[in-house]
Amino acid sequence: MNNQIVDIFDTDRKYTVIYADPAWQFKNKRTGGKHKSGAAQKYTVTSVKDMMRLPVEQLAADDCLLVMWWVGSMPQEAIDLCEFWGFKLVNMNGFVWDKETKTGLDHFGMGHSTRPSTESALIAYKGKISNLVINHSVRSKIRAKTGRHSEKPHEFREAIVKLVGDVPKIELFSRQVTDGWDCWGNEVLKDKEAA
């Protein structure tokens, strides 16, 4: 399957996997004291209301798996979004990224209570999950190094392919073009325009 940047508002393509890393809009713009560390300081963020307007349900094949990253302070919003898109939740912690710094230490994240060193992606489905999962040995937790702000490790894309096979798949809110995946997102569009 040829991968490409897709205009999700103008396509008839259907996907068996939708992998999303939404640009969650937080109430606070700055989370690090005097530092400009909030997501809005790094990239364009999107409200849940605006994310609900995305045509995700139309992208989904009859049997489709959604793997969506969510933030610990917004679990209900994540559930509401996946259900609005037409998916049934299977696991809030379907994948857990055990974040490691470039020097091999545990990541020391920002937070209003504890300092998180993990991120989670929920797994939800449309249709029959028994038609989707082909490998029941895929582990949920993956320890991997951090990269650019909010960038997710490639190991999760590999785990998704191991879980469901080499099926039609798209990454939403993508930051890069990845072999074997269609993609959509502001950052890949900027890269395409710059090329």
Helix (H, G, I), strand (E, B) or coil at 179: coil
**For residue 94, with 0-12 CB atoms within 10 Å meaning exposed, 13-18 middle and 19 or more buried, which class applies?**
buried
156 pLDDT more than 80: yes
Residues 6+ apart with CB under 8 A from 19: 67, 68, 156, 157, 160, 169, 170, 171, 172, 181
Cβ atoms of 17 and 167 within 8 Å: the answer is: yes
List the domains of the chain with CATH numbers: 15-194 (3.40.50.150)
What DSSP character marks residue 14?
A: -
Rounded to the nearest 5°, which phi and psi values hold at 131?
-85, -5
Answer with the residue of higher pLDDT: 147 or 85: 85
DSSP one-letter string for 130-178: GGT---TT--SEEEEE--STTPPPHHHHHHHHHHH-S--EEEET-SS--
Strands 118-126 and 182-184: unpaired
pLDDT tens for each residue of 94-107: 999 999 988 887 77
What mean pLDDT, rounded, does the chain reach? 86
pLDDT tens for each residue of 125-134: 999 999 999 9
pLDDT band at 188 (very low <50, low <70, confident <90, very high): confident
Cβ atoms of 122 and 129 within 8 Å: the answer is: no
Find the mean pLDDT for residues 113-131.
91
Q: Give CA 33 to chain center in angstroms.
A: 27
pLDDT tens for each residue of 21-55: 998 987 655 444 444 444 444 446 789 999 999 99
